[in-house]
Amino acid sequence: MVRECIGLVACCGQKLEGRHPAQDIYVSSLFRKSRTWVMAHCSQWFILSAKFGLLAPSQEIETYDVTLNAMSAADRRAWARRVREQLEPFAAERFIVLAGERYCAGLTGLDVKRPLQGMGIGRQLAWLTQQNARP
């Protein structure tokens, strides 16, 4: 089990209404399975949010409707710069990232491992289900 890394999990479109801790507001199966996996394999973890950049799991936020897919290329570059700045205190760490290409674009130059890279959503869910079932 890897304990000397930081997990990064992408946010999702499915959210609870109202104000909640970030780790609870996202309700998709992919997010929940990813959260379970990084909590078991990383010493700490954060959420990559299209609106906020880097979010601590316990940070309380309101429901929002922002996605990187709807942003212009310039806005996505600005988002990536913001995330890099937020990750600067952890730049010497190793990152395990459970997120799609757009969320990973700003992580160049960091020590990043992406176990779900190249998998479709169905394969990602199956891999996470299998991994999370292991003792």
Three-class secondary structure assignment of 70-102: HCCHHHHHHHHHHHHHHHHHHCCCEEEEECCHH
Give the span between the Cα atoms of 70 and 106, in whole angstroms.
Answer: 17
Mean pLDDT (the chain, rounded): 92
Residues 120 and 30: beta-carbon distance below 8 Å: no
Q: What is the pLDDT of residue 2?
A: 40
Contacts by 105-108, CB closer than 8 A, 24 or more apart: 105/76, 105/80, 106/79, 106/80, 106/81, 107/8, 107/80, 107/83
Residues sharing a CB contact under 8 Å with residue 114, sequence separation 6 or more, in sequence order: 96, 97, 98, 99, 104
Show the domain range for 15: 5-133
- How does DSSP classify residue 61? E
Tokens of 68: 């990187």
Give the span between the Cα atoms of 85 and 80, in whole angstroms.
Answer: 9
Q: What is the pLDDT of residue 1?
A: 42
Q: 8-55 pLDDT, tens per residue?
A: 999 999 999 999 999 999 999 999 999 999 999 999 999 999 999 999
The pLDDT confidence band at residue 93, using thresholds 50, 70 and 90, is confident
What is the domain count for the chain?
1
Provide the whole-model pTM: 0.92
Coil, helix or strand at residue 24: helix
* For the ranges 87-91, 92-96, 129-133, the one whose mean pLDDT is highest: 129-133
